[in-house]
Amino acid sequence: MEASPALSRIGLAGLAVMGQNLALNVAEKGFPISVYNRTTSKVDETIQRAQDEGQLPLFGHYTPREFVLSIKRPRSVVILVKAGSPVDQTIAALSDHMEPGDCIIDGGNEWYENTERRIQEVSNKGLLYLGMGVSGGEEGARNGPSLMPGGSHQAYSNIQDILEKVAAQVEDGPCVTYIGEGGSGNFVKMVHNGIEYGDMQLISEAYDVLKHVGGLSNDELAEIFAEWNRGELESFLIEITSDIFRVKDDLSDGFLVDKILDKTGMKGTGKWTVQQAAELSVAAPTIAASLDCRYLSGLKEERENAAEVLKEAGLKEEVGSLAKGIDKKRLIDDVRQALYASKICSYAQGMNLLRAKSVEKGWNLNFGELARIWKGGCIIRAVFLDRIKKAYQRNPNLASLVVDPEFAREMVQRQAAWRRVVGLAISAGISTPGMCASLAYFDTYRRARLPANLVQAQRDLFGAHTYERIDRPGSFHTEWKKSAQKINAGVGALN
Ligand SMILES: *[C@@H]1O[C@H](CO)[C@@H](O)[C@H](O)[C@H]1NC(C)=O
């Protein structure tokens, strides 16, 4: 289709695979869409796909002007280009032809402050703006992603009907909701990705323990993960993990998973999550541990060298002797429970980070709704998110998922298994930083009294930072050294 017969409902610029798939998804839902990319072959490719996939109402354009003018007013233009300056360039090229009331929707993994800057910039031209997190990868974009739009509420209303059709559908509605003002949509997507880091790390630790302590083969692992996917852990990541263990290598013998270099890549959203947690004084140790593990995984050569050096220094692998006496069935069941409990703590951290930001920015985030729109389409989609939704529905001001009565009961039921797995892993010398971080988070958060009194005493001793007391109000300072010297002198005299 060369020229559109009528004006399109919406436009999309940036036709890499994600963009093409999202455009086809929109067209398939019956909304005529205009598409544009500077590289004309991308436009042709998309038109071809729209034809092949059933004469979908998709119209290609080759100049920004022609593209913008082909869209019905008020115009909504989704851009899906690399985050950062490509977004600014695309906005510049398109906004020249746009009119007051029109809207730009950035669907990339953008830093939320860039979105807030752009909201200001385009408002000078009377344009509206949305920063919309899109999760689900290429497959999700085509068949139903989870969408996290934040920014202008008016702009959201203009395309709400489209977004609700395009998003993944779960039993309690489409996986999209208006997130809040400003860069909230990007921020929520960023934390989603941080949680995703945590989930993947925890799963990889479960794998490590089952493989090295339990001695499970890839076939057994595939079975176990498939079984877990029929219970409380049912989720996209558990499901694909099961699939991964089944794939044979087509370049040599054995399973493909065993041939993959143990170095994890990353694109930055996990790092941003941990940075934001630190900025907001929110503890997010499980997510931080996942990030640290990616960094350490990158040091492949150093790790190989360290393994050599420590072996020469006399370090023995404890795994072999431990594995002999292991009750496989029990280990598998324990690891399942440890994984589940660790996951609850990781989500508690992510949710609390979101809450701290929501308070700081006045976003008024609805955590039950966030859990709901993550139930489908996105990478962390899981049955268990329905429980989180319900926990926040029961109590929108929940201090932590850990103290929701249902989750609290589940954690208590699982803690013996959780401690056994972590203890066993530590004895075996198999690092489980995510599970350990979650357990330490749980054990720190649940204790009414911590050794922080000693840290306060130290701070008061060397810096006169003062301390509070448990038995009376006010702030106190003590001449610790003088008091200690007096006592030492007394003790000396006694001797
Ligand atoms: C068009 O395609 C190229 C190459 O695939 C990409 O780098 C560019 O950002 C795309 N987007 C736009 C709006 O031109």
Q: How far is the CA of 14 from the centre of ligand 1 (A)?
A: 5
Query: In the structure, which protein residues have their CB atom closer than 6 angstroms to any atom of ligand 1?
Result: 13-16, 37-39, 42, 81, 86, 90
pLDDT at position 266: 83
Mind listing the pLDDT tens digit for each residue in 291-333? 999 999 999 999 999 999 999 999 987 666 667 788 999 999 9
pLDDT at position 352: 98
* Mean pLDDT of all residues in 412-435: 96
- For 397, residues 6+ apart whose C-beta sits below 8 A from its C-beta are none
Ligand 1 closest atom vs CA 14:
11
Instruction: Tokens 């300072």: give the residue.
Output: 477
Ligand 1 closest atom vs CA 38:
14
Mind listing the pLDDT tens digit for each residue in 151-162? 999 999 999 999
> 173 has which bridge partners?
170
Over 60: is that where the pLDDT of 2 sits?
Answer: no
* Mean pLDDT of all residues in 75-102: 97
pLDDT at position 121: 97
Residue 41: count other Cβ atoms within 10 Å of its Cβ: 9
What integer best gives the mean pLDDT of the chain?
Answer: 95
Mutate to test the pocket of ligand 1, among 21, 37, 44, 80 (most ligand atoms within 8 A of CB): 37
Whose CA is closest to atom 8 on ligand 1?
14
Label residue 1 by pLDDT band (50, 70, 90).
very low
pLDDT at position 495: 52
Whose CA is closest to atom 1 on ligand 1?
37
Residue 343, token pair as written in the block: 């996951």
- Cα separation, 144 vs 33, whole angstroms: 17
pLDDT at position 320: 66
Instruction: Tokens 């729209």: give the residue.
Output: 50
Q: How far is the CA of 38 from the centre of ligand 1 (A)?
A: 6
- Is 137 among the annotated ligand-binding positions? yes
Mutate to test the pocket of ligand 1, among 12, 17, 34, 39 (most ligand atoms within 8 A of CB): 39
Whose CA is closest to atom 4 on ligand 1?
39
Ligand 1 closest atom vs CA 81:
9
Mind listing the pLDDT tens digit for each residue in 347-358? 999 999 999 999
Least confident of 46-55, 314-323, 324-333, 438-447: 314-323
pLDDT at position 319: 67
* Mean pLDDT of all residues in 26-44: 98
| Annotated catalytic residue 189 | yes
More confident residue, 116 or 493: 116
| Annotated catalytic residue 239 | no
For residue 119, what are the CA distances in angstroms to 28, 103, 123, 150, 434? Answer: 30, 10, 6, 11, 37
Q: How far is the CA of 40 from the centre of ligand 1 (A)?
A: 9
pLDDT at position 163: 98
- Cα separation, 287 vs 30, whole angstroms: 40
Over 70: is that where the pLDDT of 40 sits?
Answer: yes
Mind listing the pLDDT tens digit for each residue in 126-149? 999 999 999 999 999 999 999 999
Mind listing the pLDDT tens digit for each residue in 451-494? 999 999 999 999 999 999 999 999 999 999 999 998 888 765 55
**Domains defined along the chain, listed by start:** 10-182 (3.40.50.720), 189-445 (1.10.1040.10), 452-494 (1.20.5.320)
Instruction: Please state, for a pLDDT cut of 90, what percent of the chain lies above it.
Output: 93
Instruction: Please state, for a pLDDT cut of 70, what percent of the chain lies above it.
Output: 97
- Is 248 among the annotated ligand-binding positions? no
Over 70: is that where the pLDDT of 367 sits?
Answer: yes
